[in-house]
Amino acid sequence: MAEKSGDGRHPPILHGRYELGRMLGHGTFAKVYHARNLQTGKSVAMKVVGKEKVIKVGMMEQVKREISVMKMVEHPNIVELHEVMASKSKIYFAMELVRGGELFSKIAKGRLREDIARVYFQQLISAIDFCHSRGVYHRDLKPENLLLDEDGNLKVTDFGLSAFSEHLKQDGLLHTTCGTPAYVAPEVIGKKGYDGAKADLWSCGVILYVLLAGFLPFQDDNLLSMYRKIYRGDFKCPPFFSPEARSLITMLLDPNPSTRISIADIMDSSWFKKSVPKTVITKEDMEFDDFNEEEDRNGDKSKQPETLNAFHIISLSEGFDLSPLFEEKKKEEKEELRFATTTPASSVISILEEVAKAGRFSFKKSDNKVKLQGKASGRKGKLAIRAEIFAVASSFLVVVVKKDNGDILEYNQFCSKELRPALKDIVWTSPTGNSTVA
């Protein structure tokens, strides 16, 4: 709970961890305050939800869903949830403080230039693609739920109406009608079941139209008349839209979800790829460049792998891995893979180099360490993977492969589809016949 200091003049302290400041905004069920983490000094947005109000209208499941979703979707273009606390009467969300306001405020001043709208749309699609890869569908995308940070980067927020893939009915579709009327897809209105990903893309199409035009594609004072226009896909693009923008919006606002454009095709469209910001040296590129290749200038042999002592062996043992006690992760969402081998270190490195080349990765080695980095950016930047080789005995090695950067889902897909098949012939198998890959 929030406690005031004895003299009542100091800001209230929440759970001994956060100093609450001024109110930033409020809605029907929540108030948002500026707050400061007393330990780190970092500013956050503290969303305070009254339990009684939420329970009264039967929205507690919605609040729980929002918490679950926000823990799953950590992405540069999604507002980050730092932690959740609760008292007898309130739930507190400590969230990333986004200082630039709503994207809606920018549009309210008039339509945006096409190059500026494109940058926002690229960031929106990146965030939504990430959500969909996790089986999360937002279902209430609109400019009011898109915030801007102080650098002008877009941040998706308000996952209160979102759904998981677990919410799909036996027909593989969602059936709950929700969203904001002007941004909702025709199949959602139809109440016959809908694909959450396709419905989100329709909303993205409406948002893009609004960014470029400064007004909605489907407008009518009568709600039923507006729904009819949405259902028919009855809209017109202003003459100042470029041909590429007009084409993309038409494919996004296709009233038939089965023929509506996919995220992959959006990203491959000429309008989306046009005027992508100039390439700059990213943090991961700098780290990769600093990973110097071992040069054998004098014909010397490469250094031998570091020999593991008993403590190291125990710490590498999956049975002694304590991380699950501190972090909830699905079994398949591992950031590290370990295996034993009797193959020489040089052969292991050669196999990893072949995997890198086959999978469009850059490759560097240094002593008995290697690093692979994707040449193309993924959902969370370039996927970077580091492998380190240790000796248990002169002819028995342990190899540890870790994700250094990028999306954990892409890392796990790389391990299962590319790395494991390449390693299958060198992985040591115990006398009981069990593989050592962990």
With b for 16 or more beta-carbon neighbours within 10 A and e for fewer, the 153-173 pattern comes to ebbbbbbbbbbbeeebeeeeb
Please provide the distance, in angstroms rounded to a whole number, between the alpha carbons at the two ends of the chain: 43
CA dist 305 and 284 (Å) reads 26
- Give the residue carrying structure tokens 């929440």: 14
199: which 2 tokens? 């419905």
Sorted by sequence, the CB contacts under 8 Å of residue 411 that are 6+ apart come out as 335, 383, 385, 403
Quick check: helix, strand or coil at residue 81? strand
51 is in an annotated binding site: yes
Cβ burial, residue 372 (10 Å; 0-12/13-18/19+): buried
User: Which DSSP letter does residue 16 get?
Assistant: T
- What 3-state DSSP class applies to 337? strand
Query: Distances from the Cα of 287 to the Cαs of 203, 292, 372, 384, 405, in angstroms?
Result: 38, 10, 11, 10, 10
Question: At 94, phi and psi to the nearest 5?
Answer: -90, 110
CA distance 195 to 181: 17
- Angle (CA) 25-26-30 rounded to 5° is 130
Instruction: Pull the structure tokens for residue 266.
Output: 């959006």
Residues acting as catalytic residues: 140
Binding-site annotation, residues: 51
